[in-house]
Amino acid sequence: MMTDTVTVAGIDCGTNSIRLKVSEVSSDGSVRDVVPRVLRVVRLGQDVDRTHRFADEALDRAYAACREFADVLAAHRVDGLRFVATSATRDALNREDFEYGVRSILGVTPEVIPGTEEADLSFLGATSVVRRDAVTAPYLVVDLGGGSTEMVIGGDGVTVPSTRVRAAFSMNIGSVRMTERHLVSDPPTQGQIDEAVADVDRHIDEAMTVVPAGETGTIIGVSGTVTTMAALAMGLKEYDHAAVDGVTIPFDQAYEVDDRFLRMSRADRATYRTIHPGRIDVVGGGALVWSRVLRRVSEAVWRSRGVRLDAFMASEHGLLDGIVLDYGRHLLIRR
């Protein structure tokens, strides 16, 4: 049978960063990158938690990135482009201005997807490359963004396929949101940290009424915060995508690094070349969220099954990969 192929472009526009990827998606399920992901930190969600509006300077940064992406796309023939916008755009009252600006540059209207769809696509992207013999199902994929954090669990691999979503929940907590809402001092005070922990735990409590976290076999963490903190836990002097993708980090090591960088001043964080400059001011907030998720899930697993979950897997594959794979599959079906 002849394998059919489409070339698709995907854009993932989050609260802190915007990413582009161009890939060939084949009917046999394989994906080949034509243009590896291009990342720009634009902080689109600047002050959205407080004002519920996009700031003019944030829109300008996002449009500048879109113009860069337009130049990349002009050099590659694609069968389609899907632009997905997430947490900050869901909350912004002036999102129509953003949609108009993107459409005028890229010729496509951003799809403002709900948190549950974001969770599904992140799960698809993360599990599409996981080695089944290297991890234990069910997989709990956690996508920790700037404005929201998605928790999504799949099947046990026996009664339900491990790559099929069973339950998902999107929490309005993330690196930018926690930093702007609570961690306003530099470095943050203990009182601010305590308030942030209480806020995060309230959201996790709600998520766990929907997602059976106690059944987790493997935690797969995706997004810039998770992979950055994994790289720091590994002691990398500079960020290395290949080294971080698929690495397993013990919880104790993660907790120590997360807490250290949470309490560190921004000037001290800036001395670490492992951290993208656009994440320096908010990575502490993300580290706090990540530590709480790990602790709460491991506690739930112990209470539910008496099993000690003591490590997580970091993945470079998440929402953007899910966008490209899902869109490519839909285009192939239409042919």
Are 91 and 183 in the same domain? Answer: no
Stretch 145-166: mean pLDDT:
94
Asked whether the beta carbons of 186 and 89 are under 8 A apart, the reply is: no
Q: Is the pLDDT of residue 133 over 80?
A: no
Q: Is the pLDDT of residue 207 over 90?
A: yes
Q: For all residues of the chain together, what is the average pLDDT?
A: 95
Q: CA 141, CA 163: separation in Å to the nearest integer? A: 11
The pLDDT assigned to 36 comes to 85
pLDDT digits (tens, 9 = 90+) for 59-88: 999 999 999 999 999 999 999 999 999 988
Which range of residues forms the domain containing residue 45?
Answer: 5-115+327-334
Give the count of alpha carbons within 13 A of 298, CB side only.
Answer: 16
The pLDDT assigned to 2 comes to 56
pLDDT digits (tens, 9 = 90+) for 289-309: 999 999 999 999 999 999 999
The pLDDT assigned to 87 comes to 83
Q: Is the pLDDT of residue 1 over 60?
A: no
Q: Is the pLDDT of residue 29 over 90?
A: no
Stretch 258-265: mean pLDDT:
98
The pLDDT assigned to 131 comes to 76
Phi and psi at residue 208, to the nearest 5°: -75, -10
Best CA proximity match to 12, nearest among 46, 49, 39, 48: 39
The verdict on residue 107 lying in a domain is yes
Hey, is 334 helix, strand or coil?
helix
23: part of which helix (H) or strand (E)? Answer: strand 17-26
What is the domain-level CATH number for residue 84?
A: 3.30.420.40
The pLDDT assigned to 247 comes to 96
Tell me the two tokens of residue 54.
């996009």
The verdict on residue 120 lying in a domain is no
Are 240 and 268 in the same domain? Answer: yes
